[in-house]
Amino acid sequence: MDPASAKPSSWLSDERVRGLIYQILLLACIGALACGAIYNAAINMRDRGIPTGFGFWNDVAGFDINLHLISYSNLSTYGRAFWVGLLNTLLIAVICIPLSTFLGFAIGVARLSPNWLLSRFALVYTSIMRNTPLLLLLLFWYNAVLKSLPGPRQSIGVGVVVFLNNRGLYLPMPVARAPALWFLGAALLAVALAAGFHVWARRRQDRTGARAPTVFVAAALIVGLPALLTAAAGPPFAFDIARLSGFNLRGGLHIVPEMAALVFGLVTFTAAFIGEIVRAGILAVAVGQIEAAGALGLHRGLLMKLVVIPQAMRLITPPLTSQYLNVVKNSSLAVFIGYPDLVQIFAGTVLNQTQAAVQVMAITMAVYLAISLSVAVALNAFNARYALKGR
Amino acid sequence: MSLEPVAYVRAAREPEEPPPMLSSGAIAWVRANLFSSIGSSLVTIGCVALAAYLLPQLVAWATTRAIWSASDGPACRQHQDGACWAFVAAKWDYLRFGSYPVAERWRVDVVEAIGAALIVWLLWMNAPRRAWGALLFFVVYPILAFILLRGSSLLGLPIVDTLLWGGIFVSLLTAVIGIVFSLPLGVLLALGRRSPLPAVRMASVVFIEFVRGAPFITILFMANNLLPLFLPEAWAPDRLLRPLAGIVIFSAAYMAEEVRGGLQSLNRGQYEAAMALGLNYPRMTALIILPQALTLVIPGIVNNFIGLFMDTTLVSVVGVTDFLEAMNNAIKDPVWAGPTIMTTGYVFAGIFYFAFCDGMARYSAHVERTLAKGRR
């Protein structure tokens, strides 16, 4: 083309200039929206007499919370109530995550079982849980099951140590006795010895190829050492068992029905999803890997342990983590059955009492975002370490 | 010693033997799948015992011992060990429409029928002119539904306040509106997240991760408490509109990730070919990329819809009477109060949600298989 006849191109058709214009336009729109929202909020809050600062944080809350891990009374501050709620949310997560992981792995493996009936059972369970709203499950367990149990006088006893009635679940409460510290020491020592043995066995295997029965040695150490101590010095814990006094059960570890329903509902619900993740992860391991391991002469147990599980875990971990986050997020359904979690206490009661909607919602969202982000960072670190290289 | 030579020649064909009993047929199947080892046999026996113990009780509770017709509570109250389906039958209209005026309920029926027809049109993969279906569903239908449901003095339809809306139709409405509005928004966010312009990308990422990091309930609380604060007094949104806005925001973030998956799974060659043809970005996106990506993510969109339909049960926390909340209200009716009413109500709700969601999930799995065949 003759350069002289080419039209001088307008600066508007330069891709970079146009990109810049689009971005400025977008930012201007977002900025205008934000300014409008802040302006309206300022006017609305002034008109309705809504507090604008965080001064309410140190005001007296004036309401009771029936479950608090740190000391709390109705004379405590809203700030204290926030921490109580946050700890209650984390408590649910800490209880539900390991339980639903165990149950979920069991269900995932059951679905792949060569036993047709077992895999059908697992399938039915999974599809019921996945196609029913969690809220319905929680309401069912809380209202229709736990709340309609008999009263304390007709408690259902499981054995004679666990009791279930309409006021909750009563478990034996371990109470430390004198040898408890020694017991703890023995347990820690056993774990340390087992870890040491594992390292030694791994080195020896790398050097000579001989395998050592690590699992059995570790189990013998971890069970055996504390057991020996118990035999020598007596049990380290006494169990405080709930017993009927008057119209109620006293003593023991009392779990309020709200918490029992929430834990039970969340665990059974989440386990179905984890089961599917585990199944998909195991199925996704290439058949060639399994055949190659079989050709090397590995028997079924070693094949699972050395070839299938490590590869499946790489696929399982990311979705599993997002299920753990879902547990944290789903525990906010506590609102519906009255378990005092962060949302129920803070975004519910505190918001209604103080009317400080913007501040309260900002703090609540910040908490959940902080949890999500920290888990995401941990997951990225995991992926960076275990992702297949060179893909 | 010498061996006598044995001469034997078969003259006729031997009759065919059936295969050994233990290697094919029902018995072999049972041996391989139920009793392949001691452990497996024990598991089978355990499962059979559990089923034999539970199933007859459940079936009897739901059928033979259940009460199928009664005009009010007393019959169900005396009968303590069976479901009270009469209660569901008596409350059925309330469960479907909430407090929507009886004389106007045909409007809800019409909206539901049109919606169902349009959804079938869109989801039936070989249907003719699906683009028209999409236009009707995403543009015309919401306006039509709004006018019909709310009423219009121009058309002579009395106005029905959203306070009266409730039941299954509100559950369906919230889920459908969530999808109708969040899909376009989700497509924009997904494109934004893959944009080469850093400001656009950042804005999309922040929005998506912010929403996905928070529980649905807090999004609903935010929509309910903050929207009225952030808008001028005169625009204060309706009490049903606020949670709907929350649902759209929530669903858009998940939809964006779904669509992004579809965009990522497209072959790079498609982009390159479109650019080689000289198409600019809007035309490339609208003519080449989105039609393929959106077809790929139909199963994902349906799964999102299922999740959203179940999540809409949470809207009762901000005072909207969805199906589950209507069931809760019905259970509290003192006329019907009885020992089995609550279980009956929740079991019925469970069956309803299960039937709906499982059906959609089966459809989505079917589409996924069909698509996988086409791509192989």
CA distance B313 to chain A (A): 7
- Beta carbons of B215 and A136 less than 8 Å apart: no
- At A2-40, the pLDDT tens digits run 444 555 567 777 778 888 998 999 999 999 999 998 898
CA distance B344 to chain A (A): 9
Query: Which among B48, B229, B342 has the least Cβ separation from residue A144?
Result: B342
- At B321-354, the pLDDT tens digits run 999 999 999 988 888 887 788 888 999 999 999 9
Query: Which among B36, B196, B229 has the least Cβ separation from residue A44?
Result: B229
* Contact residues on chain B for A143, CB-CB shorter than 8 A: 342, 346
* Contact residues on chain A for B357, CB-CB shorter than 8 A: 130-132
Residues 6+ apart with CB under 8 A from A349: A63, A81
Query: Which among B44, B310, B317 has the least Cβ separation from residue A117?
Result: B44
Is the confidence at residue A390, as pLDDT, over 80? no
Q: What is the pLDDT of residue B30?
A: 86
> Within 13 Å and on the Cβ side, how many CA atoms surround A29?
8
H-assigned helices in A61-133: 78-111, 116-130
**B171 with B243: CB under 8 angstroms?**
no
Is the confidence at residue B16, as pLDDT, over 60? yes
Q: What is the pLDDT of residue B272?
A: 92
CATH of domain A78-172+241-386: 1.10.3720.10
Query: Which among B48, B197, B212 has the least Cβ separation from residue A19?
Result: B197
What chain A residue is nearest to B230 in terms of C-alpha separation? A37
* CA pair distance B218, A329, nearest whole angstrom: 9
* CA pair distance A275, B23, nearest whole angstrom: 33
Which of the residue ranges A259-263, B71-75, B77-81 has the most confident prediction, judged by mean pLDDT? A259-263
- Partner B contacted by A332 (CB < 8 A): yes
Q: pLDDT band for position A367 (50/70/90)? A: very high
Q: How confident is the model over A302-317, as a mean pLDDT?
A: 86
- Enter the tokens of residue B110: 């019409």
* Contact residues on chain B for A333, CB-CB shorter than 8 A: 217, 314
- Give the rounded distance of the alpha carbon of B195 from its chain centre: 31
Would you list the domain boundaries of chain A? 15-48, 78-172+241-386
Q: How confident is the model over A260-271, as a mean pLDDT?
A: 94
Q: What is the pLDDT of residue A9?
A: 66
| Integer CA distances (angstroms), A197 to A121, A184, A203, A348, in order | 40, 20, 10, 52
Closest by Cα among A364, A341, A353 to A256: A341
**B86 with B76: CB under 8 angstroms?**
yes
Which of the residue ranges A120-129, A309-318, B300-309 has the most confident prediction, judged by mean pLDDT? A120-129
Closest by Cα among B55, B91, B96 to B70: B91
Average pLDDT along chain B: 86
Q: Which of A69-73, A369-373, B213-217 has the lowest mean pLDDT?
A: A69-73
Q: How confident is the model over A194-200, as a mean pLDDT?
A: 91
Give the residue carrying structure tokens 């919401």.
B142
- Beta carbons of A114 and B33 less than 8 Å apart: yes
pLDDT higher at B198 or A226 = B198
Closest by Cα among A85, A268, A252 to A167: A252
Q: pLDDT band for position A391 (50/70/90)? A: very low
* CA pair distance A227, A267, nearest whole angstrom: 31
Interface subset of A 273-292, CB within 8 angstroms of B: none
Residues 6+ apart with CB under 8 A from A165: A149, A150, A151, A152, A154, A155, A156, A249
**B278 with B328: CB under 8 angstroms?**
no
Identify the bridge partners of residue B98 per DSSP, sorted by sequence position.
B165
- Enter the tokens of residue A93: 């997560």
Closest by Cα among B37, B305, B266 to B183: B305
- Beta carbons of B34 and A115 less than 8 Å apart: yes
* Contact residues on chain A for B329, CB-CB shorter than 8 A: none
* CA pair distance B56, B23, nearest whole angstrom: 34
- The DSSP secondary structure of B271-303, one letter per residue, reads HHHHHHTT--HHHIIIIIIHHHHHHHTHHHHHH
* CA pair distance B278, B282, nearest whole angstrom: 12
Query: Which among A27, A41, A332 has the least Cβ separation from residue B215?
Result: A332
- Three-state SS sequence of B136-187: HHHHHHHHHHHHHHHCECCCCECCCCHHHECEHHHHHHHHHHHHHHHHHHHH
Percent of chain A's residues with pLDDT above 70: 95
Interface subset of A 227-266, CB within 8 angstroms of B: none
CA distance B72 to chain A (A): 21
- At B127-151, the pLDDT tens digits run 777 778 888 888 888 888 888 888 8
- Enter the tokens of residue A156: 């259902």
Identify the bridge partners of residue A257 per DSSP, sorted by sequence position.
none
Q: What is the pLDDT of residue A142?
A: 92
* CA pair distance A233, A220, nearest whole angstrom: 19
- Partner B contacted by A127 (CB < 8 A): yes
- Enter the tokens of residue B92: 């059925």
- Give the rounded distance of the alpha carbon of B69 from its chain centre: 31
Give the residue carrying structure tokens 């080449």.
B288
- Beta carbons of A26 and B200 less than 8 Å apart: yes
Q: What is the pLDDT of residue A330?
A: 93
Asked if CATH classification 1.10.3720.10 holds for the domain at B85-100+160-375, the reply, yes or no, is yes
- The DSSP secondary structure of A9-75, one letter per residue, reads PPGGG-HHHHHHHHHHHHHHHHHHHHHHHHHHHHHHHHHHT---SSGGGGSB-----S--SS---TT
- Beta carbons of A23 and B215 less than 8 Å apart: no
Question: In which region does residue A159 sit, left (phi positive, over 0), alpha (psi from -120 to 50) or beta (all else)?
Answer: left
**A304 with A112: CB under 8 angstroms?**
no
Strand ranges of the sheet holding A162-165, from the earlier edge strand across to the other edge: A156-158, A162-165, A168-171, A253-255
- Enter the tokens of residue B335: 């006329």
Helix (H) or strand (E) holding A231: helix A214-233
Which amino acid is it at A230?
T
- At B268-285, the pLDDT tens digits run 899 999 999 999 888 999
**B43 with A116: CB under 8 angstroms?**
no
**A78 with A57: CB under 8 angstroms?**
yes
pLDDT higher at B330 or B161 = B330
Between chain A and chain B, how many beta carbons pairs sit less than 8 Å apart? Answer: 154
- At B34-72, the pLDDT tens digits run 888 888 889 899 999 999 999 998 898 888 888 888 777
Cβ neighbourhood burial of A99 (10 Å; 0-12, 13-18, 19+)? middle
Average pLDDT along chain A: 86
**B182 with B251: CB under 8 angstroms?**
yes
Give the residue carrying structure tokens 């975004």.
A347
Which candidate in B204, B217, B353 is best for mutational testing of the A interface (most A CBs within 10 A)? B217
pLDDT higher at A93 or A159 = A93
- Partner B contacted by A380 (CB < 8 A): no
- Give the rounded distance of the alpha carbon of B113 from its chain centre: 18
How many residues does the structure list for chain A?
Answer: 391
ipTM computed for the complex: 0.86
Would you list the domain boundaries of chain B? 85-100+160-375
- Beta carbons of A361 and B226 less than 8 Å apart: yes
Q: Is A157 helix (H, G, I), strand (E, B) or coil?
A: strand
Identify the bridge partners of residue A77 per DSSP, sorted by sequence position.
A60
pTM: 0.85
- Beta carbons of A329 and B231 less than 8 Å apart: no
* Contact residues on chain A for B330, CB-CB shorter than 8 A: none
Identify the bridge partners of residue B67 per DSSP, sorted by sequence position.
B84
* CA pair distance B123, B363, nearest whole angstrom: 9
- Partner B contacted by A106 (CB < 8 A): no
